[in-house]
Structure 1
Amino acid sequence: MTDQRADWDRVAELLPDPQQELDLTLLRKLPELMRENDFEITVVTYRGKVISVEAGDTTTVGYGCAIDIGTTTVICSLHDLFDGQEITAASAFNPQRTYGADVISRIDFSLTGGNLEKLQNLIIDQVNTLIDEVISKAGINRADIYLLSVVGNTTMQHLLLGLPAKYIAAPPFVGTLYTGLSFDSTDLGIKINDRGQTVFLPHVAGYVGADIVAGVLATGAYKYDAPCVLIDVGTNAEIVLAAQGSLYACSAAAGPAFEGANICCGMRAETGAIDRVWLEDGKLHYHVIGQVPALGLCGSGLVDVIAELLSIGIIDCSGRLLTRKEAIPIVGDTLAESLRENDDGDEFVIVENSEFQKVSLTQRDIRQVQLAKGAILAGIRIMIKEMGIKMEDVELFNLAGSFGNVLNKKNAQVVGLIPATISLSKVEYAGNTAHVGAQINLLRADTEEIVNSVVKNIKYIELSDRSDFTEEFTNAMFFGECEG
């Protein structure tokens, strides 16, 4: 009788922020829950919102997952929200790849009736499967997971949310949602705590998504004074240039060559793929993933073989593959024997397992790489120009993503993925910065303010709208001394 505060008022006074947003459903169950548990309850909040009210003292239990929705691969790591430790992780191929290896193909597929929902269900099911895997490994309950932090490129997040992505595919490349928001996981069909939240990092543009924002967060690029570059090479290579609080970003349409598509013997980095190539004692050597007979050439192997053939002159600076007759005086008979002419054009045979099985590099493959690296290098040069600095001013060049982190730095520079004037001592492997950024967003309370500031400060450059892009792109397609 001496303390007649309402139930919620009594609870709210103990919360860090007394103005917490409250769900009406939770409020309805509060009176009985408090009295059944002798007024000992646990309140779970997230960014100003009460997401759960539970019986007793459960303050020592709380988990979250950081999820990277890649175009090719989905990664899920489980973390203790109290000490931040990663407990376990799981990954799998993105099942949407059945309907297209790249985002444009998936957007096209989503336009037919019911297919957007099909793509959404596929990725939601995969997320739930990975959550099942990590909780099984950790021996915890699904209800103990309160928070998911999700990143992905703009299209991947649109498809997960079931948002129309149609207008990302055509000029002016506009998405439905760029703002980073949180949603009730149950509304998405994601199976964690019934009151759990799924939070998404924001995007910059249609082709500069939350994955690259997460990369900026993970590398701390937004804090650098000296110029630094962050590049994540995929079908679309996202590039960020940062210096003294200024950030520029662009997306270069590199195409799928580095993922094995549109390459004569191209394949993904999986068992049977040649992933490394090198010259030793005048002979070409290679490594195959899984130590099995070579089946094809993945992106890192593709870069290596082109770099090696450039270094000995079998490929000239214009990108032309020499004929056997032209190559003999330069490299001798042994290596020149690998040069062949056939109905489909010239090729360099890396390995011939049998009469019917060979792995080779064709003239067309070289042109595909020139197109890809030309777009990337042109994008870097335009941002350097826009910032008003010189390429040699760059103090750090971060290679991010699964492809970037297996590249041979020297060979990447020979091919032109890394500008020639940047010292290789300044090139670093940044790891999977998208996933690391998702983890930071999961575990740190200040990331919402940081990423919103980052996105607000990024100056996005639409390369296709630049009058100087064609010239820069044309010059950047050449190799070495021919390069403009």
Structure 2
Amino acid sequence: MIVVQNSQGEILQSLQPGANLREVLIAGGCAVRSSCGGQARCGQCQVRVAESGAIPYTFSERARLSGAQLAAGIRLACQLNALMDLHVEVMQPLAQMSWRILREDECSCSAWSFSPRARTVRYGVAIDVGTTQVRLALWDLVAGVRINACSGLNPQGSYGADVLTRLMEADRAEACARALGKLIRDRIADALVNMSSQNSIALSAVGEVQIVGNTAMLSLLAGLNYRMLLDPENWTRRIACQPEQTNFLRAAWGVSEAANIRLVTPLGGFVGSDLLAGVISTGLIRQPAGALLIDFGTNSEMALWDGQTLHVTATAGGPAFEGGGISCGMPAEAGAIYRIDQAGGEIKLHVLGDSAPRGLCGSALVDAAAYLLRTGRLDKVGRFTDKTSGGCAISEGLVLKRGDIDVLQRAKAAIGAGVQWLCQQAGIESGALTQVYACGAFGQLLTVENAQQIGLLPQTALVHLEGNTALGGCEALLISDQAEAELAAVLAVSRIYNLAEDAGFESLFVENLYLQAIPQVRTMKGVRDVR
């Protein structure tokens, strides 16, 4: 038996001798952080075990935990196979699975007019399933009015912060795949119940559901073709995520028995329909040549419009943009520092919610790096100039370390190299980009000058901080006939690239590791010149 202590009191969980503690906690519904999926790389699944002294520490625990933590009985749940009854306290639980009401500017589809047509259903829902966040919008399809929109955490985080880790978990055991699918379906069901009850709407009156997301999230939701995504041969191919029968989704969500449920087909194995929705939301292919869209995330997708072709790819930026892999990092939730300003020689911290700082989300990490560069405390290689420094104290108990800077460098290098590579393919000099759309929760919170200084965004005169364009585009598909035609037009002009197949991308990645502006790329008759 395991006794788990949390903010609600004590929870009793049964235990099979030798079972892995992390897996037992997850199976029992305990929201333990585990970005690496139980590989002992992230050090987030920390628990305090009263009986710790009776169980030897593993090599990974000694490498990840400090001497003080070891002395206090802190363990890594992924490394602990329980052979006795335990009393456990989860040290870094996932945030409570509440829902936040979205503001109008966080999910706007105002560029698309409502199509007034005879409708057989009154209500519809648009859903964006992201790796970290799930967002929904409830619409009155007769009046053409958004009734409610909300955002909450994707509960699959216990199985890993990134899509690859979750896919590997699903591939490892069929039970894990079923659990991952059920987690996201139940999460959507919870949001639907909340939104419908708040607005006195019967869920059975919801007759249309449009869903976008990255390919991995859609395949896990549907329980379909997720193993194909582990094969690089499928990364540029369209992966079917639409179940032939959607009765199980109707039943799970309580919507109309005749509801039309559509999972919008992704562009490729690593480029999802969330990017397509973003292109629709921003009207990217209606812009002048040189318009670039970057949807920041663990798997960052980008699209460059050259006036005739939409060049699309994705780069594995890792979880840094969402606060993952950072010793003092956290998602953009209550208690997260989201911006760091410098005024009068002092820094000012901006924190989400009415709470004390608990960590840095991705946008604040960018601000911190830029500030340290400007003040000479960090060099462009990413090293602290004070050799005796163990890092930079951001706030009480929050220290930015060399390893955190390294994680940021790799994430921003993936973006910078991706931008350069797409410019090469499109024959556009990177200095000639006309505008950039920075999308996602991370993109919306960015300080543009700081992002450009460290080489995360190109030096472009016009940068749009767009927020969640994926949900906005999904809403457009729900309400507008013109948006559906736009989707067909986007698919017709899109060309997808797999950067892993290009030997030149690695050299671009290395060039972009430096904390400096993205190098200018000039393209003349296929010859690349990096300035």
Structure of higher CA gyration radius: 1
1:482 positional shift: 10
Give yes or no for the alignment of 1:297 onto 2:357.
no
Give the corresponding residue for 1:248. Answer: 311
Give yes or no for the alignment of 1:98 onto 2:137.
no
Consecutive unaligned residues in structure 2, runs of 5 or more = 1-117, 520-529
CA distance in 2, matches of 1:434, 1:406: 16
Worse overlay, 314-323 or 205-214: 314-323
Give yes or no for the alignment of 1:200 onto 2:260.
no
1:453 positional shift: 3.2
CA distance in 2, matches of 1:437, 1:185: 22
Give yes or no for the alignment of 1:350 onto 2:394.
yes
1:283 positional shift: 2.0
Give yes or no for contact 1:75–1:435 (8 Å, CA) kept in 2.
yes
Give yes or no for contact 1:183–1:198 (8 Å, CA) kept in 2.
no
Instruction: Using structure 1 for the length normalisation, give the TM-score.
Output: 0.78
Give yes or no for the alignment of 1:161 onto 2:222.
yes
Give yes or no for the alignment of 1:276 onto 2:336.
no
Matches within 5 A, 1:120-159: 120-159=181-220
CA distance in 2, matches of 1:155, 1:175: 13
Give the corresponding residue for 2:131. Answer: 71
Give yes or no for the alignment of 1:361 onto 2:400.
yes
Give yes or no for the alignment of 1:455 onto 2:491.
yes
Out of 464, 468, 473, the residue aligned to residue 437 of structure 1 is 473
Query: Deviations for 1:24-73, whole angstroms, at most 9, x for unmatched residues?
Result: xxxxxxxxxxxxxxxxxxxxxxxxxxxxxxxxxx9686110011111111
Give yes or no for the alignment of 1:81 onto 2:145.
no
Give the corresponding residue for 2:431. Answer: 392
CA distance in 2, matches of 1:119, 1:257: 22
Matches within 5 A, 1:293-332: 293-323=356-386
Pair 1:196–1:451, CA change in 2 (3 A): same
Give yes or no for contact 1:182–1:198 (8 Å, CA) kept in 2.
no
Residue identity opposite 1:119 in structure 2 = L
1:122 positional shift: 1.6
CA distance in 2, matches of 1:60, 1:201: 21
Instruction: Using structure 2 for the length normalisation, give the TM-score.
Output: 0.71
Pair 1:146–1:176, CA change in 2 (3 A): farther
CA distance in 2, matches of 1:116, 1:60: 35
Give the corresponding residue for 1:427. Answer: 463
1:179 positional shift: 5.3
Give the corresponding residue for 1:15. Answer: none
1:412 positional shift: 0.8
Query: Deviations for 1:249-299, whole angstroms, at most 9, x for unmatched residues?
Result: 110111111222221211112222222112222223222323433222111
1:134 positional shift: 1.5
- Alignment length, in residue pairs? 400
Give yes or no for contact 1:167–1:175 (8 Å, CA) kept in 2.
no
Aligned-pair RMSD on alpha carbons? Answer: 2.2
Consecutive unaligned residues in structure 1, runs of 5 or more = 1-57, 325-339, 353-357
Query: Deviations for 1:216-257, whole angstroms, at most 9, x for unmatched residues?
Result: 111111222331011011111101001313100110111111
Give yes or no for contact 1:62–1:145 (8 Å, CA) kept in 2.
yes
Give the corresponding residue for 2:68. Answer: none
